[in-house]
Amino acid sequence: MILESRDPSMRTKQRPKSRNRLSPEARRRQLMELAAAMVLKQGGLPLSVAELARAAGVSKSLFYTYFPTQHDLLNALMVERVAALETAGLLAAPRHANFSEAVVKAAAIYFEDVAERGPLLHILLRDRYMTGHTAPRVRQFRDSVLGGLARAGRRALRLKAKEAVAAANLILTIPEEAGRLAFEGEMTGSRARELCRDLVASALAAIAPGG
């Protein structure tokens, strides 16, 4: 027979500890942050929902109450990054009257985001797992930034349409890679920022008429 202690303090100690319950907003934020870390660690998709749920200390069924599909979770991550970049001015940068200044501004904004949060948006946008599943807002943002730079490049540098798009894509890989080096600690932030600025300037000089 198991006897219960008459000492209230002893009974309290014997009870299993209850888990701290997070609010829906805090739980959603937790799942998104864990997912972002997993994406950056893996460098690709898809994620293991079981592993993600285990890291959060929840069941898979609870995970799916917040994100019905993994695509919903990944789109939530992208929409968040897009909103941050838009607030930072990336969407407005290509509209700058001077093409070179527009590119430099866009590159600087993108660099700071990647240096702080990692190349999350790049991985999610480029992985085939998201093909046909990317949220409209994310697609529109990407197309607006690249399209705006490409159109400005066509006017300023007299490039053909395909050349202008390719140039915009290639130039934006510079802040992406420099930001990644800073994020992963392979280079100091100041040095990576300086490298990004110098390489963007060199790229602009190379594609300029007569460059």
Residue 137 CB-half CA count within 13 A:
11
Tens of pLDDT along the chain (211 residues)?
A: 444 444 555 444 444 444 568 999 999 999 999 999 999 999 999 999 999 999 999 999 999 999 999 999 999 999 999 999 999 999 999 988 888 999 999 999 999 999 999 999 999 999 999 999 999 999 999 999 999 999 988 888 888 888 888 999 999 999 999 999 999 999 999 999 999 999 999 999 988 876 5
Predicted structure pTM score: 0.87
Tallying the residues shown for the chain, one arrives at 211
Amino acid identity of 101?
E
Tell me how far apart the alpha carbons of residues 176 and 157 are, in angstroms, rounded to a whole number: 23
Structural domain boundaries in the chain: 75-207
Q: CB–CB of 31/63 below 8 Å?
A: yes
